[in-house]
A and B are shown apart, each in its own frame.
Chain A
Amino acid sequence: MNWISNYVRPTINSIFSRREVPENLWTKCDECGTMLFHRELADNLNVCPSCSHHMHITPRARFKAMFDGGVFAEVTVPEPLPDPLQFRDQKKYTDRIKDARRTTSEKEAMLVVEGEMGRTPVVAAAQDFSFMAGSMGMYVGNAIIAAAERAVELGRPLILFSAAGGARMQEGILSLMQMPRTTVAVEMLKEAGLPYIVVLTHPTTGGVTASYAMLGDIQIAEPGALICFAGPRVIEQTIREKLPEGFQRAEYLLDHGMLDRVTPRGQLTDELVRILRMLMGLPPAVAGDLPAPETAKAPPVPDAPAAEAATDSAPPKSTPAPKAK
């Protein structure tokens, strides 16, 4: 198949994520209180095995699990001006950035990569909530534009995982300007006839929701994700009444017609592959964990049940195989 031979050899940068070993070996689920061993939690894509609560997952960990063989290549994002407003609140913005870089070992709040999932070439971008609450500033805007341009260049779909407290206030109006800028990026994809799928993860709020995160051809959310423009506390203060249970959560939005689907993290990859292959005019996907693209010489096993990872570099299988197709 052409799309395999045309594939650019990715650099293997995902095998050992810099943040892989957490400081604490045990994590308490903030939903059900169960103490979870970090390995077990990571193998389950940071979804609590006892109550299915979806915790944050870093873009690297997500991509490692999502791409065939855990292999992906980073797409370069043009650097914006470092501190265009010379912003300072109780702390200097430049210091906040430094702190975030130190604690996350990431450059900024969005990671853009390319790779294959289920032998389907894609470009993907994910927002990193652990980096200044994933806030949308010029870097995130540049990242989305770079992702769209790369997708257009390669003729691939773009999958975007959103997670943000909103716009990055420390960039003032320039953070707000990422709403139109990222919308231009979405337009590029649409004009090129390429699918743009948004996966909304917890939480996606403010200017992010009111721009690229709501403009997907298909809108999927992870269970329980808070998705809103104005946050629940602001609304409660405004209308002076208690909001209903589950308000602004993924399931609530689904009920109100604002989403296509709510899909558990462990089933997302298969679902994305399935949808994308239909939209891209490709034959049905093969099931199961696939090795990295460059080792894929033998024909893929047709419709095998989700097998346990055969090699060390294969992504951990998250949950038991999806119940239904």
Chain B
Amino acid sequence: MKNYLEFEKPLAEIEGKAEELRAMARTNTGMDIEKEAAALDKKAGDLLKSLYGNLSAWQKCQVARHPDRPHCKSYIETLFTEYTPLAGDRNFADDHSVMGGLARLGDQAVMVIGHEKGNDTKSRIERNFGMARPEGYRKAIRLMELADRFGVPVVTIVDTPGAYPGKGAEERGQSEAIARATEKCLALKVPLVTVIIGEGGSGGAVAFATANRVLMLEHSIYSVISPEGCASILWKNAEKMREAAEALRLTAQNLKELGVCDTIVKEPLGGAHRDAPAAIDAVGKAIRKALADLAGTDGLDLRNNRRKKYLGIGSKGLAA
């Protein structure tokens, strides 16, 4: 069963019809539907192209949050070898919404850290829907420190709705944890490459994504607040999320123009969820390229360049 998004309904209808025809043909031998089905396939293909060639900001949010979109775990399992998870913040707990550990990208040892949302009810609950608690950021800090000490580049994979708005998370200082993680990102003397694969939600994303290179999948988003949250505050109506999504300029394309995103990684037609292996492969190539670009740069320069880059953000706005 495919999960269709609301704006994909016309597509669902066409694909459904083609499916039905083929099912009928299977039970009624001698019925020739292939021509008709092929025509429907073509129609669906054209529609997919036009839909995805022209996604609104809100539609991109929906694609970025698509339940079938490949998540951090798939990227780690596919792109890296020798993945060795390292757990815990050495203080309170291991946060399962944050994956992290040593791994190899080709021959290169890296520290990979990312938010994992989960793929079904059980794993989503276990992963807290990709919303880290303070322990998640503190685990990330610990792993970044370890990587820094041994000259291992850091790759972060960002996919989070944001920090977890829970009682314990606040009591255990999630503000401080996020602030320290951002500080750690800025202090590293090893390359830090981030790829935003779905949702880059607010401070929870910044804590991992203050990087030398920020890559974004074509239909991923990165925002100060969710469109729903923004709508309920500024429009006093959470239903105005379409307008809010538009106004926030949260698409990879807008962020590239603003200098927040360095590289957009093209997704397969119809989004990463329609061809996960292709999307993962494209991300892998982009990470390797970014790491190759940064290889050989002196540690202090890596740090200073990262700082300079962030100090410089905001010097250009969007074209009117």
Contacts and interface: CB of A to CB of B under 8 A. Distances in A.
A183 B234 contact: no
Nearest to B313: A177
Interface string B167-198: 10111111110111011011100000000000
Given A172-B250, A180-B182, A229-B174, A238 B224 contact: no
Given A179-B210, A186-B183, 18 more contacts: A84-B316, A89-B234, A89-B243, A169-B225, A169-B234, A171-B224, A176-B203, A177-B314, A179-B206, A180-B210, A183-B182, A210-B178, A210-B206, A211-B178, A214-B173, A214-B176, A229-B178, A230-B163
Given A85-B317, A167-B224, A176-B224, A183 B183 contact: yes
B244 interface: yes
Contacts of B234: 89-90, 169-170
A215 B187 CA distance: 14
A211 B179 contact: yes
A177 B310 contact: yes
B166 A83 contact: no
A187 interface: yes
Contact of A89 (B206, B225, B244, B250): B244
B317 A84 contact: yes
Interface in B228-282: 230, 233-235, 243-244, 247-250, 254-255, 258, 260
Interface residues on B, range: 35 or more
A247 interface: yes
B38 to A, nearest CB: 44
Contacts of A212: 179
The 3 closest A-B pairs by CB, nearest first: A84-B317, A230-B165, A209-B175
A179 B313 CA distance: 12
Nearest to A179: B206
Contacts of B182: 179-180, 183, 210-211
Interface of A: 80-81, 83-90, 138, 141, 145, 167, 169-177, 179-181, 183-184, 186-187, 206-207, 209-215, 227-230, 234-235, 238-239, 241, 243, 247-248, 256-258
Given A89-B235, A228-B170, A181 B311 contact: yes
* Interface of chain B: mostly helix, strand, loop or mixed: helix
Contact of B186 (A187, A228, A235): A187
Contact of B167 (A170, A207, A247): A247
Given A169-B225, A207-B202, A214-B179, A180 B247 contact: no
A7 B172 CA distance: 43
Given A229-B170, A235-B166, A183 B314 contact: no
In this complex, the member of A83, A172, A238, A248 whose beta carbon has the largest number of chain B beta carbons within 10 angstroms is A172
A113 B235 CA distance: 35
Contacts of B249: 85, 172-173
Contacts of A138: 314
Given A86-B318, A173-B255, A207 B224 contact: yes
A108 to B, nearest CB: 14
A235 B260 contact: no
A256 B174 CA distance: 12
Given A180-B206, A183-B183, A187-B307, A210 B174 contact: yes
A87 B190 CA distance: 37
A170 B182 CA distance: 22
B223 interface: yes
Contacts of A183: 179, 182-183, 186, 210
A202 to B, nearest CB: 15
A85 B314 CA distance: 10
B222 interface: yes
A88 B244 CA distance: 9
B245 to A, nearest CB: 11
Given A89-B235, A183-B179, A256 B165 contact: no
A190 B249 CA distance: 34
